[in-house]
Amino acid sequence: MLSDGEEYAVNEIVVRMKMGQPAVSKHLGALRRAGVVTVVKRGQHRMYRLNPTSLKSVYDWVKVYEHYWTHQIGQIKERAERKALERLIRLDDGSKPTKEE
């Protein structure tokens, strides 16, 4: 919900999520300790907001693989992998893989 960049009071989050206020406060507390959100006092409200810079490490990590989907090479390779996967497990619907070969 905070990913839209807006700031929200705890109550505003409570009404939109299907959770009670204590649960929301605990989620926000965890996110705050993790640095994912920030809080500022505004009157008797605590305004929570996404802290986008906390996502940089995630970004840096996945960026390494960027070329896999931007370059043709990666797409070809991926298709080959998927085909190999399908060959191995014939679409995993939970059923035991039909022994083959």
Partner DNA sequence: TAAATATATTCCCAATTAGGAATATGTCAA
Partner DNA sequence: TTGACATATTCCTAATTGGGAATATATTTA
**Buried-state track 17-28, b at ≥16 Cβ within 10 A, e below 16:** eeeeeeebeebb
User: Could you say which residues in the range 2-21 bind DNA, by CB under 7 A?
Assistant: 9-11, 14, 18-21
Per-residue contact track with its own copies, 18 to 57, x per CB under 8 A? --------------xx----xxxx-------x-xxx-xx-
Which residue's CB is nearer to DNA, number 76 or number 97?
97
Residue 11's contacts (CB-CB under 8 Å, 6 or more residues apart) are 21, 45
Nearest approach in angstroms of CB 37 to DNA is 10
Strand order in the sheet with 37-42: 8-9, 45-50, 37-42
Nearest to 12 by CA among 58, 48, 66: 48
Nearest approach in angstroms of CB 24 to DNA is 7
- Report the C-alpha gap between 51 and 55 in whole angstroms: 8
Which residues contact its own copies by CB under 8 A? 3, 32-33, 38-41, 49, 51-53, 55-56, 58-59, 61-63, 65-66, 68-69, 74-75, 78, 81-82, 84-85, 88-89, 92
